[in-house]
Structure 1
């Protein structure tokens, strides 16, 4: 497969490609490694490669995570950061996966997986296309509810700050918050906080 075809294949996939995608497109593993050794492609993480010379994505960690783990959904502090609803700087990428999934192993970016029930995992998902790469993230209301649910792991202060920023910056949607709280089985516990703050 000629080099121009490889470049087109990379560009059609947002500048990133899995080894399995290259093989499915008719490229041998040997030829792919030869391109890596020449510096035409750069290994981003295990099995994932980037076309050399392409501009960096605005959210490179999220693009790499989404390509490597298509079922992963950005959640908790990482989702708050994506929505500009926190002053926290995430040290790792928080992702949601369905219960029963294997824990992802990835050196960079560092991931912290949280396992959600089917209903909670499937609710409130937005998909953002970043330089051709689909990145799934929970909407702000679902993220706030999740932050309360996982408050013992991430800190109650994260939730309190997020709900205050939400009130200040966004159009508050109490019915959506209530719906997500019910799905996440925390309706009774969170209602006093929502009533006091909102």
Structure 2
């Protein structure tokens, strides 16, 4: 006969496989909310946020908050200052995670979440997306060239100096070519804005 696994065993397996698990995912796997609560009281799991859990002894990645927010907002894409930080293009540590979502997508209203939502059109939301696994959680992040172009497009929100820093670092670290950045800038409608900075930086080597 096949072995019978307890709800605790199932919960542990789910947490090890996915890193961060939502209460709805536990329920779908046959683990009740009462079992999760008992595990939390016993110190086996850690409640990160409402309905969001992780193993207490799970190693924390430097990008842990991105994984947490991505689990709560699976349609979102890490963008702007948070994407710059993820790609190592800025020393600034944003106090909130910048996430791009669609024009009509649901946005969390929980003030306890370290989140700053920016609404993108469908075309701009699906362009230049990369998927990185953080603590077992797939996290969508805009690529370097797309992020730089977006920073110039949203310079009124993050500051022009941040956008210029991102452009400088992307070129200096050779994480994107001028052509790649120019292409994304054209697609995002900021080619004329970014061109003078791009030309000045490439002219200076």
Task: Normalising by structure 2, report the TM-score.
Answer: 0.89
Partner of residue 63, structure 2: 59
Q: Secondary structure at the match of 1:127?
A: strand
Deviates more, 1:29-38 or 1:72-81: 29-38
RMSD between superposed Cα atoms in Å: 1.6
Q: Structure 1's 161 and 96: CA in aligned 2 closer, same or farther, altered over 3 A?
A: same
Structure-2 separation of matches of 1:107 and 1:57: 23
User: How far apart are residue 39 of structure 1 and its match?
Assistant: 2.1
Alignment of 1:5-20 (within 5 A): 5-14=10-19, 16-20=20-24
Q: Secondary structure at the match of 1:17?
A: strand
Deviates more, 1:122-131 or 1:172-181: 172-181
Q: Secondary structure at the match of 1:101?
A: coil
Structure-2 separation of matches of 1:41 and 1:70: 22
Partner of residue 3, structure 2: none
Partner of residue 129, structure 1: 133
Deviates more, 1:145-154 or 1:175-184: 175-184
Aligned partners of 1:79 and 1:143 also within 8 Å: yes
Aligned length: 197
Aligned partners of 1:61 and 1:109 also within 8 Å: no
User: How far apart are residue 107 of structure 1 and its match?
Assistant: 4.4
Structure-2 separation of matches of 1:95 and 1:171: 21
Alignment of 1:1-198 (within 5 A): 1-14=6-19, 16-170=20-174, 172-198=176-202
Structure-2 separation of matches of 1:151 and 1:187: 14
- Structure 1: runs of 5 or more not aligned: none
Q: Secondary structure at the match of 2:30?
A: coil
- Structure 2: runs of 5 or more not aligned: 1-5
Q: Secondary structure at the match of 2:89?
A: coil
Aligned partners of 1:92 and 1:112 also within 8 Å: yes
Q: Structure 1's 171 and 50: CA in aligned 2 closer, same or farther, altered over 3 A?
A: closer
- Following TM superposition, where does structure 1 have runs of at least 4 consecutive aligned residues deviating by more than 3 angstroms? 106-109
